[in-house]
């Protein structure tokens, strides 16, 4: 038996007393929503940034982690009952979630709980996105929500999920899929939906070579964002059925959604409404080194596509008590030292000591020593760039020491012998690397 949306609302009775005249108002209550964030992906295409951490824990934009953007969307959307499902190399993520997101209080019905794979319903770890929810089906039964929202913890965007929940109820849907409009040439990378004029999903293709176009835009497609809303009772039925299918990969995009569409389930697409307030809708799956580098470097534009400074939609994170950032040595005469940062994002605790930084993102506690040149690069926390070093189009991970005179990003042939180099020539130096001989920091 399929559950219907008519069971989602209950009456909330409000009693008003106007001079001995009793007025009783029946107000509809919002459906109770339980949220799951999938944060256990390996992020293999981001290696070596994901060598020691999962993709949602990768630093982004100087002071943030990728997972902060999905969690901030939850916070700003009023979703306060959240399970974060973790699995691979999760220590860094666990530490960050505890420090940055531990302020929710179960005593008032709010929580962000971290849930590792526990083999509660079988002998395997999470086999796919649907299996991850199925292995935590007890949480759904325990919390008794009306709706279940499922999110990915590794995308950069701003979205008010409450609007999607309202759309789901309005349409009387069993399932709603978050959808994003993309050019047709990108369809082979994503799950593509075909819709009718009422936004009902009538077809679904995973990474198709010949994708379905939008009815009114032949050069565009509607892609799945990996965001789903399910009626709780129906979700439990679906997951239980899928768990019994031996040929299934137990994945929402590959198995669940295509099956529901084929069975003509009451399933709708919800078009992404961007809260970023930019000229173009912004949603990024920064799953490759090049995409990650481009999204970071965009932040230092005069008018970046993604606005980190929006007080109406703040991005929350954990910030330590770093000292103020500073630049030192303004010796502009010939041969002198000049500590300067141009067109760059400089985080607290950074010291630019007589070096030059241009079009780069510096995380906290980075030190750039005298005569060093850093351009178009992402330098992560506690990295140190030695004197006379030259760094261009690179990603330097945490706790890296670059010895004086080192050159990175100017000869990709030599760089490939030591480091990972992306298709577009971005050099990645993994965390804890010490390049060259050790020496003392110099001003």
The answer to whether 430 touches 440, Cβ cutoff 8 Å, is no
Listed range (114-123, 344-353, 383-392, 399-408) with the worst mean pLDDT:
114-123
pLDDT for 204 beyond 90: yes
pLDDT for 110 beyond 50: yes
Q: Which residue has the higher pLDDT, 72 or 10?
A: 72
What is the pLDDT averaged over residues 168-185?
Answer: 94
Q: State residue 79's pLDDT score.
A: 96
Q: State residue 11's pLDDT score.
A: 43
Q: State residue 187's pLDDT score.
A: 87
The answer to whether 182 touches 190, Cβ cutoff 8 Å, is yes
Nearest Cα to 384, choosing from 434, 321, 430?
Answer: 434
Q: Which domains occur in the chain, in start order?
A: 33-298 (3.90.550.10), 326-435 (2.160.10.10)
Q: How far apart are CA 395 and CA 296, in angstroms?
A: 10
pLDDT band at 441 (very low <50, low <70, confident <90, very high): very low
Q: State residue 218's pLDDT score.
A: 87
Q: How far apart are CA 127 and CA 114, in angstroms?
A: 18
Nearest Cα to 202, choosing from 192, 194, 190, 191?
Answer: 194
Nearest Cα to 298, choosing from 316, 314, 282, 277?
Answer: 282
Residue range 222-246, pLDDT digits in tens: 999 999 999 999 999 999 999 998 8
Q: What is the dihedral of CA 241, 244, 245, 248, to 10 degrees?
A: 90
**pTM, rounded to two decimals:** 0.89
The answer to whether 150 touches 132, Cβ cutoff 8 Å, is no
pLDDT for 440 beyond 50: no
pLDDT for 339 beyond 90: yes
pLDDT band at 3 (very low <50, low <70, confident <90, very high): very low
pLDDT for 428 beyond 60: yes
Asked if omega into 304 is within 30° of 0 (cis), the reply is no
Residue whose tokens read 């935590």: 136
> What residues pair up with 13 in beta bridges, in sequence order?
26
pLDDT for 69 beyond 60: yes
What is the pLDDT averaged over residues 188-192?
Answer: 88
What is the pLDDT averaged over residues 171-182?
Answer: 95
Say what percent of the chain tops pLDDT 90. 72
> Kind of pairing, strands 201-206 and 220-231?
unpaired
Q: State residue 125's pLDDT score.
A: 67
Q: State residue 19's pLDDT score.
A: 55
What is the pLDDT averaged over residues 250-260?
Answer: 93
* Mean model confidence pLDDT for the chain: 89
pLDDT for 6 beyond 80: no
What is the pLDDT averaged over residues 384-398?
Answer: 98
Say what percent of the chain tops pLDDT 70. 89
pLDDT for 59 beyond 50: yes
Q: State residue 166's pLDDT score.
A: 96
Q: State residue 2's pLDDT score.
A: 42
> Residue by residue, what is the 3-state secondary structure of the chain?
CCCCHHHCCCEEEEEEEECCEEEEEEEECCCCEEEEEECCCCCHHHCCCCCCCCHHHCEECCCEECHHHHHHHHHHHCCCEEEEEECCCCHHHHHHHHHHCCCCCHHHCCEEEEEECCCCCCCCCCCCHHHHHHCCHHHHHHHCCCEEEEEECCCEECECHHHHHHHHHHHCCCEEEEEEEEEHHHHHHCEEEEECCCCEEEEEEECCCCCCCECCECCEEEEEEEEEEEEHHHHHHHHHHHHCCCCCCCCHHHHHHHHHHHCCCCEEEEECCECCCCCCCCEECCCCHHHHHHHHHHCCCCCCCCCCCCCCCCCCCCCCCCCCCEEECECCCCCCCECEEECCEECCCCEEECCEEECCEECCCCEECCCCEEECCEECCCCEECCCCEEECEEECCCCEECCCCEECCCHHHHHHHCEECCCCCEEECCCCEECCCCCCCC
pLDDT for 443 beyond 90: no
What is the pLDDT averaged over residues 89-114?
Answer: 91
Listed range (110-119, 154-163, 310-319, 338-347) with the worst mean pLDDT:
110-119
């Amino acid at each position: 038996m399929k559950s219907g949306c008519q069971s989602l609302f209950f009456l909330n009775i409000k009693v008003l007393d106007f001079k001995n005249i009793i007025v009783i108002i029946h107000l509809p209550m919002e459906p109770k929503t339980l949220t799951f964030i999938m944060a256990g992906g390996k992020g293999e295409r981001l290696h070596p940034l994901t060598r020691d951490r999962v993709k949602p824990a990768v630093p982004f934009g100087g002071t943030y982690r990728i997972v902060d953007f999905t969690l901030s969307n939850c916070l700003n959307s009023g979703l306060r009952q959240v399970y974060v499902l973790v699995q691979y190399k999760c220590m860094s993520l666990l530490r960050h979630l505890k420090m940055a997101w531990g302020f929710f209080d179960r005593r008032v019905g709010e929580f962000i709980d971290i849930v590792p794979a526990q083999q509660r319903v079988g002998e395997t770890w999470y086999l796919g996105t649907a299996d991850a929810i199925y292995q935590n089906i007890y949480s759904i039964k325990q919390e008794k929500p009306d709706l279940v929202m499922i999110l990915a913890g590794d995308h950069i965007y701003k979205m008010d999920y409450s609007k999607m929940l309202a759309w789901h109820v309005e349409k009387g849907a069993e399932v709603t899929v978050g959808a994003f409009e993309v050019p047709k040439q990108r369809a082979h990378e994503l799950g593509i939906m075909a819709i009718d004029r009422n936004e009902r999903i009538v077809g679904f293709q995973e990474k198709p070579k010949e994708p379905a176009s939008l009815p009114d835009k032949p050069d565009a497609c509607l892609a799945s964002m990996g965001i789903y809303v399910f009626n709780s009772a129906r979700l439990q039925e679906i997951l239980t059925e899928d768990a019994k299918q031996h040929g299934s990969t137990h994945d929402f995009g590959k198995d669940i959604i295509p099956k529901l569409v084929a069975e003509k389930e009451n399933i709708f697409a919800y078009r992404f409404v961007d809260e970023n307030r930019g000229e173009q809708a912004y949603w990024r799956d920064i799953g490759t080194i090049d995409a990650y580098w481009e999204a970071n470097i965009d932040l230092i534009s005069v008018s970046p596509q993604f606005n980190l400074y929006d007080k109406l939609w703040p991005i929350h994170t954990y910030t330590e008590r770093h000292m103020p950032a500073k630049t030192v040595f303004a010796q502009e005469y010939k041969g002198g030292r000049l500590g300067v940062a141009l067109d760059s994002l400089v985080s607290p605790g950074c010291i630019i000591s007589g070096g030059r930084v241009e079009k780069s993102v510096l995380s906290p506690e980075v030190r750039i020593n005298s005569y060093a040149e850093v351009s178009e690069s992402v330098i992560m926390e506690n990295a140190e760039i030695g004197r006379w070093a030259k760094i261009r189009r690179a990603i330097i991970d945490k706790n890296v020491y670059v010895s004086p005179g080192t050159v990175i990003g100017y000869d990709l042939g030599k760089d490939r012998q030591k480091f990972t180099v992306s298709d577009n020539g971005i050099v990645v130096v993994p965390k804890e690397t010490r390049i060259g001989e050790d020496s003392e920091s110099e001003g």
